[in-house]
Structure 1
Amino acid sequence: MESNAMGAFIAALRKTAGLTQKELADKLHVSDKSISRWERGEGAPDLSLIPVIAELFGVTSDELLRGRRQNVPSSEQEEPSLSPKLRQRVLAASFSRYKSRSAIAAGLSGCGLLAALTGNLAFLRAYLGFFAGAVFFLAAVITQLICLNSAFLAVSGEEFQQPQVDDYRYRCVLWAEGILGLTAVLFAFTLPLVLLTGDAYLGLSGDSLMAYGLPFSLAAVIFWCCVVWLVNHQLIRNGRLRPCNPEQARYRSSLKGWCAAGLAVLLTVTGFVHQGLKGFGDPTLISEKIVFEDFDSFKEFMEQDIPWDPSDTAADQAVPPAPVGPVQYYDESGNPITEEEALTETITDNQGNILCTFLRRNQSVWSWKYGHLDGEILPITVYTQQHLEQARRRMALMDQVFGPIYCLETVGAVFVYFRLRQKKRTKV
Structure 2
Amino acid sequence: MGNSSVLVVDDSPMFLQVVTRRLAEEVDAEVVAAVSLRAAQTAMAERRFDVALLDLNLPDAPGGEVVDLALAHHIPAIVFAGDCSEQTRSRLWAKRIVDYVVKEGEESLNYAVRLVRRILRNRQVAVLVVDDSATVRHMLAEMLAVHCFTVLEAADGSEGLRLLAEHPNVRLVITDYEMPQMNGVRLVQAARGLYPKEELAIIGISGHEQKDLSARFLKSGANDFLHKPFSAEELYCRITQNLDLLEYIRTIRDLSEKDMLTGLANRRYFFAHGSQLLAKAQERQEPVYVAMLDLDHFKRVNDQYGHEAGDAVLRHLGTMLLRHFGGEQALPARLGGEEFAVLFVGVTDVAARVEAFRAELAATPVNAPGGSVPVTVSIGVCGLPGQNLERHLACADQLLYRAKHRGRNRVEMGASPQKMDTGKE
Structure (1/2) with the larger strand percentage: 2
Under a length normalisation based on structure 2, what TM-score does the superposition of the two structures give? 0.24
Q: Which of the pair has the greater relative contact order for Cα pairs under 8 Å at 6+ separation?
A: 1
User: Over alpha carbons, which structure has the higher Rg?
Assistant: 1
